[in-house]
């Protein structure tokens, strides 16, 4: 099972302060929009999403079909196959992708410690 690019999506109090902090660590703005209160910061293969006022807790994010440069992968596990595998392993999904569709969609689950995991397919 290939989950694609990994990033952490952080709930930040002040996106400008967080942007400056992560720039000090060597991250650069890769995507997003300050006016929309979100930025994706990149340092090598590491991705950190900064989100102000969009969700309560930090989220682990996987993007099937994308590499860390948001480029489409030739081969990847479709989210519907990932979802089927998880359900077959008795993993409870908080939201599910419609298995009758194709293309972009997402599903959400929590790990045993309550951390939210977003599997977000854009292709």
Domains of the chain and any CATH numbers: 5-121 (3.10.180.10)
Give 68-102 pLDDT, tens digit per residue: 999 999 999 999 999 999 999 999 999 999 999 99
Q: pLDDT digit string (tens) for 15-74?
A: 999 999 999 999 999 999 999 999 999 999 999 999 999 999 999 999 999 999 999 999
What pTM was estimated for this model as a whole? Answer: 0.91
Q: Can you spell out the DSSP letters for 50-101? A: EEESS-SS-EEEEETTB-TTSPBPSS---HHHHHHHHHHTTPPEEE---TT-
């Amino acid at each position: 099972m290939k989950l694609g690019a990994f990033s952490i999506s952080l709930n930040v109090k002040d996106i400008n302060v967080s942007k400056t902090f992560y720039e000090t660590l060597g991250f650069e703005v890769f995507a997003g929009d300050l006016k929309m209160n979100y930025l994706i910061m990149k340092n090598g293969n590491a991705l950190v999403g900064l989100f102000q006022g969009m969700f309560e807790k930090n989220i682990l994010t996987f993007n099937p079909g994308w590499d860390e440069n948001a480029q489409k992968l030739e081969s990847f596990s479709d989210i519907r196959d990932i979802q089927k595998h998880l359900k077959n392993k008795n993993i409870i999904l908080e939201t599910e992708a419609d298995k009758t569709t194709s293309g972009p969609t997402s599903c959400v689950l929590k790990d045993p410690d309550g951390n939210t995991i977003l599997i977000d397919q854009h292709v």
